[in-house]
Structure 1
């Protein structure tokens, strides 16, 4: 795709994942952005499989030139991901389609090193779209004090603001995957947009729209139809809805066009202990507190509070159907 001077450079930090795959496909049919790399992280699948899936998706898209950097397999506390969402995405992360091994390999740089290198190479130009736990991003922040200044923006899929979590009543999966990393990123001072499940649960790809994709000759639409049935079955059974939540495509949409959302600004901290470990707590009241607390003297982030779900749904459909 020909890129204009105004095209935004993005790196997608991802744990593919059926909805990650939809977001990645959407990105490569989006003239607003130039995907300059994928970094991988555990979450929906272990990191090793996330890297395989990312490489395979680039083959499907025909963009094997885009580098993939293998990310951390452990949280900052050196804990492996205990809960892999194979019941949502299948054991291979892509709906149990038994895809062949990818032909390419990840680059020699790990995800942390790749993020730092790209931010230094293109200061003020790169948006990171973080679709999984935030370990790689936190490691980049710790590795290079200039990373938060060099990176243009970080768009985070994570948190459950004003609603229950999706792992337990307190926590959303990406944040619970590495709460310590999330707290480092939220308080880093980077320009951050946060898209929580309070937003993504409003954006649904319906059963009827899947049928529309099945009737298309678009290669992207055909691939989504191949991997999607497992994801749709999970949503039918778990949520009793006639469709699927578009978590990752919604976060990508925030990188494409933030005007699709309204945001409130405030400090976000992450609960690190106890029954509510992984809870994202948002101070957006503007109240001047009477005592010093963990929310004082920390930089604000922007948390999405409303979304134009119809426009995001239409955007995804348009780009998946594009020939």
Structure 2
């Protein structure tokens, strides 16, 4: 593919668990030009997230070619809890604690996002698989950011479904609901929420066994980082996964997969979304007016269903052949 035909992507991440697989998909896709990775406070300690991203890019063979920029180290206003109980200590399965010695970018991630957007108007897609703090800060500094970016594809929210951190909220929007509310209000985003993740990007023992049979470093890496999630789901019935079985959700990698292969999207709807930024039990709640009861203009494209088989094939092809497009 001609480089000019590739989707130019910045991934904004709180690198732990499945975030790594989103980075791998983007790094290895000939449909994507991975411009940079920006880090935002979220899943684990900030410095660990930075090293996890660099290590993952190394594993995908682009560690020296894709710069990691360090961004917001805390939410805009509220404190938050990490998610090491889901992703393992350090975020990479509890057994990998890399020190890559790769330097970070020489400017703040927020400044980088603004710079990239200004220099390439209408060309950059931000794939946000972390809390939306970096994007909110960038928006505050550059109010024209929604016009300068091509699109924002976001993993976050729980659209008319139970959350995964509280009954009301998905983790990314819960961590920084003020940022989520600001970004949702300003951008016309594409949203992959927790509900579609549980419905269509939850993989199980058959997939894990196929990966275990692969003799590749990427497959071994996947098996390592996914183990704590499997254990968490086997022991937990307190959220929308309601698994109590050997499964793992793939919210971030499926979000990236929709960008590199939009054909896996089966259905989507346009609606108005607001995010509850108040403290309390509804912190981070995503109100999606799918029936247009309120009459507000649409500000989001919500992905409702994804082809699970095709997503799984993309993931397995990446782990086996280092090529997300080996089959499709």
Q: Is the 8 A contact 1:40 1:111 kept in 2?
A: yes
Displacement, 1:288?
Answer: 6.2
Give the TM-score, by structure 1 length: 0.91
Match for residue 214 of structure 1 among 201, 212, 215: 212
Displacement, 1:31?
Answer: 1.6
**Separation of aligned partners in 1, 2:69 and 2:255:** 21
Query: What is residue 325 of structure 2 aligned with on the other side?
Result: none
**Separation of aligned partners in 2, 1:268 and 1:288:** 11
Displacement, 1:311?
Answer: 1.3
3-state SS, counterpart of residue 5 of structure 1 = helix
Query: What is residue 126 of structure 1 aligned with on the other side?
Result: 124
Query: What is residue 11 of structure 2 aligned with on the other side?
Result: 12
| 2:72 is the alignment partner of 1:72 | yes
Q: Is the 8 A contact 1:29 1:322 kept in 2?
A: no
Q: Is the 8 A contact 1:175 1:278 kept in 2?
A: yes
Q: Is the 8 A contact 1:155 1:254 kept in 2?
A: no
Q: Which structure 1 segments of 5+ residues have no match?
A: 290-295
Give 1:263-278 correspondences, 5 Å limit.
263-273=268-278, 274-278=280-284
3-state SS, counterpart of residue 18 of structure 1 = coil
| 2:186 is the alignment partner of 1:199 | no
**Separation of aligned partners in 2, 1:135 and 1:311:** 32
Q: Alignment length, in residue pairs?
A: 312
Displacement, 1:191?
Answer: 3.6
Q: What do you get for the CA RMSD once the two structures are aligned?
A: 1.7
Give the TM-score, by structure 2 length: 0.90
Query: What is residue 292 of structure 1 aligned with on the other side?
Result: none
Give 1:1-323 correspondences, 5 Å limit.
4-63=3-62, 64-77=64-77, 79-81=78-80, 83-188=81-186, 190-202=187-199, 203-238=201-236, 239-261=243-265, 262-273=267-278, 274-287=280-293, 289=295, 296=296, 300-323=299-322
Displacement, 1:320?
Answer: 1.5
* Deviates further, 259-268 or 154-163: 259-268
Q: Is the 8 A contact 2:152 2:190 kept in 1?
A: yes
TM superposition outliers: structure 1 runs of 4+ over 6 Å: none
**Separation of aligned partners in 1, 2:136 and 2:58:** 29
Q: Which structure 2 segments of 5+ residues have no match?
A: 237-242, 323-328
3-state SS, counterpart of residue 265 of structure 1 = strand
Displacement, 1:121?
Answer: 1.7
Cα shift readout 1:159-190 (whole Å, capped 9, x = no counterpart)? 111111111111111001111100111111x3
Displacement, 1:124?
Answer: 1.0
* Deviates further, 192-201 or 258-267: 258-267
